[in-house]
Amino acid sequence: MTFWRTKTLAEMSKAEWESLCDGCGRCCLHKLRDEDTDEVSFTNVACRLLDLNTSRCSDYANRRTKIPDCVQLTPRKLKTVDWLPPSCAYRRLGEGKDLPPWHPLITGRAESVVEAGASVAGRALSERDAGPLEHHIVEWPGKLPRVRR
């Protein structure tokens, strides 16, 4: 099933759209935007709802109630969001690229995201423990994971 190659993002069913998320958790990391340059910097600090072991939201159904600024990504909103990591399936498909080879829809295995080094599991800390975000700026969430051999 390669619906992502035959449908536009707007044509996808809710289930297809949701299945594009690889569960890496990178979009759940806090970002800082420079007021002067508008440049986005990633941190390794995760939203308090992100399970740091699984890189999945611990309360996905209610996340927008608990975290009012949590972005609900839609095909329309995707056009205005400039902070998705380059490995993100939504961003990649929106840019006319294919899914990365480690994506669960390609491999059939959720573990492939962790194996590829794309997941935040083991690399992020909770906002409850972080302190000032400026102390946690990192580059890896804004880069493609290196393919492991």
CA distance 85 to 42: 9
What is the tens place of the pLDDT at every residue in 4-55?
A: 999 999 999 999 999 999 999 999 999 999 999 999 999 999 999 999 999 9
Where are the alpha helices (H) located in the chain, listed in sequence order?
3-6, 14-19, 63-66, 75-78, 89-94, 104-107, 111-115, 127-130
φ and ψ at residue 127, rounded to 5 degrees: -60, -20
Report residue 86's pLDDT band, with 50, 70 and 90 as the boundaries.
Answer: very high
φ and ψ at residue 30, rounded to 5 degrees: -70, 145
In this prediction, residue 92 carries a pLDDT of: 96
Please tell me what DSSP assigns to residue 148: P
In this prediction, residue 81 carries a pLDDT of: 93
For the chain, which residues make up each domain, given as ranges?
12-141
Residue 72: is its pLDDT beyond 80?
yes
Residue in 108, 109, 140 with CA at minimum distance from that of residue 123: 140
What is the tens place of the pLDDT at every residue in 101-149?
A: 999 999 999 999 999 999 999 999 999 999 999 999 999 999 998 765 5
CA distance 24 to 121: 8
Please tell me what DSSP assigns to residue 42: E
In this prediction, residue 145 carries a pLDDT of: 87
Q: Look-up: residue for tokens 């699984």? A: 54
In this prediction, residue 147 carries a pLDDT of: 63
β-strand partners of 56 = 51
In this prediction, residue 102 carries a pLDDT of: 94
Q: How many residues does the chain have?
A: 149
In this prediction, residue 148 carries a pLDDT of: 56
Supply the pTM of this predicted model: 0.91
